[in-house]
Amino acid sequence: MSREVLEAGFILAPAAALWLSYPRRPRVAAVACGVVLAVGAVLVALAQADARSGSALAVLGALLSTVLTWLLCRRREADHRAAFSRLETVRSQRLQISEELSRLKKRGLSAEREHRETLAVYGMVKSLAEALSWDDARPRIEAAIEQYFGNGAEYALYVAGLRDEGEVRPLTLRGLRASPGSSWTTLSRFLQEQGAVPTSSKVFERPERAVGMPIHEGTEMLGYLYARVPDGAAPQEWLSKTEAFASELIVAFKRVKLFQEMERLSEIDGLTGLKRRGAFDKRLAEEVVRARTFKTTFGLMLLDIDHFKSLNDKYGHPFGDQVLKRIGTVLKTTVYDTDFVARYGGEEFVVLLPRAEPEGARRKAEAIRTAIEAEAFSAGFEAVKTTVSIGLAFFPRDAATSEELVSRADAAMYAAKSGGRNRVVDRT
């Protein structure tokens, strides 16, 4: 091999080694190249003593090529660092974008859920606006609860005045493993045991994790919503969710209660405070069905004020109103709570006596007649007495239908009037 080829290889070998080693270990390669250059220079000098000048040039060329290559490697290293920095920036931006997309997705799901819940509440309010009774409102509320809380919701919804004023009972109850009670009394006891009061919301931990939410307007208690917290749900979030739903029930509850009150008032005689004829007809039909079903009996008492027209003509209609009101009070205070008293029309009154036997009904009729006879009515400075004639009839002894029973009691009453008034007649 010629000296020129050897020198050219000597010049290029360190630079090539340095270049090929980049970017893994450029500093180690540079040191190795330096050692190679030094050793190579010594060897060339020893082997070719007569060509020292050429060897020196070869060493100088190798050194120069190494330096140039080193500078190029440093430049490439700087470029790599800049590219790596840009890559890290892109990765960071990508991560931020991914996190933002995740947040937007969660926000979208949350917005979708809130939209669904809002639609459920809106649909419930709209649907309940058409409900005029608790029986009509119940399936509408159940549908709204399932849409708002999910099909697997476990809850109990209590309503004040469900059937009678002051009575609080569950309107609907579904899926609870531990019921908080079947009535307002047992619910109140349950709440007391849990250290809660009906007028405040609370998260319960036993016998199951649940929330309780009162439904009220001011001081008026309308109801109470008890709902179990689903597994994995945050109790406080569920409490807020339940509170939002319960707040929308207020309007619906007030509407149904208002209609109930209007219906009740429509059944009540404004003068005496007793039930009207329509309410009596409804109750009488129910009693006939009940008596047929359970093979029982009941009595019907029909009263008419004696000479009432003469009293009106002589003392005036205000006096007549006074008499009607007083007799209504006597009837309400004389009969049992299970009895049903109504103003039948004009000066006539009726009393339903569930499960009454003839002898007991006659004694009660006599007590009423005696109590009214003992009443003294004031007409100016004059004390006026009045009496009533009472007719009795019994189901099924005297009649097979409600119409027949009223007709029999009416006939007995007119028999009492024909017999001299101020008496009780049992049509046998």
Q: Which residues are registered as beta bridge partners of 345?
A: 348
- Average pLDDT in the 379-406 region? 92
Q: Which residues lie below 8 Å from residue 334, measured CB to CB, with a gap of 6+? A: 364, 367, 368, 371
Give 254 or 357, the one with higher predicted confidence.
357
- Average pLDDT in the 171-191 region? 74
Q: Which residue has the tokens 């140039």?
A: 68
Tens-place pLDDT, residues 44-78: 555 554 445 555 555 555 555 566 565 656 666 67
Is residue 357 within 8 A of residue 366, CB to CB? The reply is no
Is residue 365 within 8 A of residue 392, CB to CB? The reply is yes
pLDDT at 84: 76
Q: Which has the closest alpha carbon to 8: 48, 50, 49, 62?
A: 62
Confidence tier at 9 by pLDDT (50, 70, 90)? low
Is residue 266 within 8 A of residue 259, CB to CB? The reply is no
CATH placement of domain 129-261 = 3.30.450.40
Q: Above 90 in pLDDT, residue 124?
A: no
Q: In whole numbers, what is the pLDDT of the chain averaged over residues?
A: 79
Domain spans in the chain, listed from the N-terminal domain onward: 3-92, 129-261, 277-426
Q: Which residue has the tokens 């003392």?
A: 315
pLDDT at 86: 82
What would be the CATH architecture of the domain defined by 277-426?
2-Layer Sandwich (3.30)
Percent of the chain with pLDDT over 70: 71
pLDDT at 291: 93
Percent of the chain with pLDDT over 90: 31
HSE-up of 85 (CA within 13 Å, CB side)?
6
pLDDT at 374: 93
Q: Above 90 in pLDDT, residue 255?
A: no
Q: 105-109, 256-260, 311-315: lowest mean pLDDT where?
A: 105-109
Give 166 or 171, the one with higher predicted confidence.
171
Tens-place pLDDT, residues 266-280: 788 888 989 999 899
| Distance (Å, whole) CA 327 – CA 332 | 9
φ and ψ at 155, to 5 degrees? -155, 165
Q: Which has the closest alpha carbon to 355: 411, 408, 295?
A: 295
Q: Above 80 in pLDDT, residue 385?
A: yes
Q: Above 60 in pLDDT, residue 368?
A: yes
Could you tell me where the beta strands, DSSP code E, fall in 67-131? none
Confidence tier at 284 by pLDDT (50, 70, 90)? very high
Residue 119's SS3 state is helix
Is residue 343 within 8 A of residue 275, CB to CB? The reply is yes
Is residue 248 within 8 A of residue 124, CB to CB? The reply is yes
pLDDT at 224: 87
HSE-up of 38 (CA within 13 Å, CB side)?
5
Residue 202 Cα distances to 173, 221, 293, angstroms: 19, 16, 46
In this structure, what token pair is assigned to residue 426? 């049992």
Residue 427's SS3 state is coil
